[in-house]
């Protein structure tokens, strides 16, 4: 059983790494964006799935991460790898700044606060001309290099893919940790959670920060890949797609957002033959998905099963 699961995962990993290398170009481009969306959806799941707070600021976090990574390199001449990590940290700080007021609100009000935050970020990135060059964006961002070799598309894919795997592993560890349990306990019953020592405001702000950190990294990676950062790197439409990825895949599970990201990032590409009807059909498919899998494609039980395979049956979950 364990070895079968191991083989399955191994085959999957090899396929994922080899196919973009062989086919290159267009497939490679889609593979990069699937990886980036896996990071975004998995980290958004910390808010939607674990904390039960529908946060609409994820696209804004990604934009902040993109600008942070670009400006740290261009203005402060910080080396790429450090700028990438710092983009995550800067975005986590933005997450704290949003989290502090947002934790005072619940339900739809919280969603509105996060939506407002997204609009603030957009307006600032459009109007702070001397910092962001406004709607023109900042083109020509350098890609990183290792041993004198500049990253091409495939290297960028590997970087995004490895980051996505790391994100999924960390998110799954968080879910099954003391921290993850405390976030879920708050979701289930705030009054009871407090009685066992959980500080609601502190814990929720940390959840915002962790979620934002990964969104910032994802934004920095996509800015690096496109060699361009502009206010519409991730738009409101992209953010709603991220929410759909989490919900349709299965919120609160490890693999749900991964599958959701893969499906919804690939679907518009696979529907290209429909030309102008493409987004119409895509929307219809979304509605149908929610109709048939109201609680997501990946159930809790299936997720547990997949996780045991992921850890090579090492008993990590028992």
Partner 1 sequence: MAPALEIRGVCKYFGGLRALNDVSFVVETGELMGIIGPNGAGKTTLFDMISGYTQLTSGQIIFEGADFSNVKPHSIAGLGMTRTFQNIRLFGRLTVLDNVLVGLYCRTSAGVLDAAFRSVRSVREESQAREKAAEYLSLLGLADRSRDEARELSYGDQRRLEIVRALVSEPHMLLLDEPSAGMNTFEALKLREIILHICKGMKKTILLIEHNMQVVMNIADRVVVLNHGARIAEGSPRSIQRDPHVIEAYLGRRYLKHAGD
The three-class DSSP label of residue 140 is coil
Start-end of H helices in the chain = 2-23, 25-45, 58-74, 80-102, 107-127, 129-132, 153-175, 178-188, 190-195, 200-226, 236-249, 255-270, 278-292, 300-310
Q: Does 245 bind partner 1 (CB under 8 A)?
A: no
Site string for partner 1, 149-188 (x = CB under 8 A): ---------------------x--xx--xxxxxx-xx--x
Encode 183-209 in three state secondary structure.
HHHHHHCHHHHHHCCCCHHHHHHHHHH
Query: Which residue, 122 or 303, is less far from partner 1 as judged by CB?
Result: 303
The three-class DSSP label of residue 138 is strand
Nearest distance from residue 193's CB to partner 1, in Å?
Answer: 7
From 83-91, 111-119, 189-197, 275-283, span contacting partner 1 (CB under 8 A): 189-197
Nearest distance from residue 241's CB to partner 1, in Å?
Answer: 26
Nearest distance from residue 177's CB to partner 1, in Å?
Answer: 3
Nearest distance from residue 192's CB to partner 1, in Å?
Answer: 4
* CA-based nearest residue to 285, from 241, 251, 253, 252: 241
192 by Cβ neighbours in 10 Å (0-12 / 13-18 / 19+) ranks as exposed
CA atoms of 9 and 79, how far apart (whole Å): 35
Site string for partner 1, 93-132 (x = CB under 8 A): ----------------------------------------
Q: Does 191 bind partner 1 (CB under 8 A)?
A: yes
Nearest distance from residue 239's CB to partner 1, in Å?
Answer: 24
Per the CB < 8 A criterion, the answer to whether 260 and 244 are in contact is yes
Q: Does 200 bind partner 1 (CB under 8 A)?
A: yes
Query: Which residue, 38 or 71, is less far from partner 1 as judged by CB?
Result: 38
Nearest distance from residue 158's CB to partner 1, in Å?
Answer: 22
CB-CB neighbours of 23 under 10 Å? 12
Q: Which residues bind partner 1 (CB under 8 A)?
A: 170, 173-174, 177-182, 184-185, 188-189, 191-200, 206, 210
């Amino acid at each position: 059983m364990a070895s079968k699961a191991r083989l399955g995962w191994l085959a999957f990993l090899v396929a994922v790494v080899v196919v973009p290398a062989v086919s290159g170009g267009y497939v490679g481009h889609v593979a990069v964006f699937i990886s980036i969306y896996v990071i975004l959806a998995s980290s958004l799941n910390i808010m939607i799935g674990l904390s039960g707070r529908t946060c609409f600021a994820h696209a804004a976090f990604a934009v902040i991460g993109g600008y942070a990574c670009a400006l740290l390199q261009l203005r402060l001449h910080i080396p790429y790898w450090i700028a990438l990590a710092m983009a995550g940290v800067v975005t986590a700080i933005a997450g704290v700044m949003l989290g502090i007021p947002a934790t005072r609100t619940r339900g739809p009000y919280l969603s509105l606060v996060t939506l407002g935050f997204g609009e603030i970020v957009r307006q600032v990135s459009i109007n702070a001309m001397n910092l962001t060059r406004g709607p023109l964006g900042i083109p020509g961002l350098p890609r990183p290099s290792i041993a004198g070799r500049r990253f091409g598309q495939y290297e960028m894919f590997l970087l995004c893919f490895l980051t996505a795997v790391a994100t999924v592993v960390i998110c799954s560890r968080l879910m099954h940790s003391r921290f993850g349990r405390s976030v879920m306990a708050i979701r289930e019953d705030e009054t009871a959670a407090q009685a066992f020592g959980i500080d609601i405001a502190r814990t929720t702000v940390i959840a915002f920060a962790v979620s934002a950190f990964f969104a910032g990294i994802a934004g920095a990676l996509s800015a690096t890949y496109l060699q361009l950062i502009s206010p519409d790197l991730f738009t409101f439409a992209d953010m709603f797609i991220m929410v759909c990825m989490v919900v349709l895949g299965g919120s609160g599970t490890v693999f749900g957002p991964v599958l959701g990201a893969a499906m919804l990032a690939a679907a518009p590409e696979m529907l290209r033959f429909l030309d102008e009807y493409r987004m119409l059909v895509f929307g219809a498919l979304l509605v149908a998905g929610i109709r048939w899998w109201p609680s997501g494609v990946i159930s809790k039980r299936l997720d547990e099963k997949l996780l045991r395979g992921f850890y090579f049956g090492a008993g990590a979950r028992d």
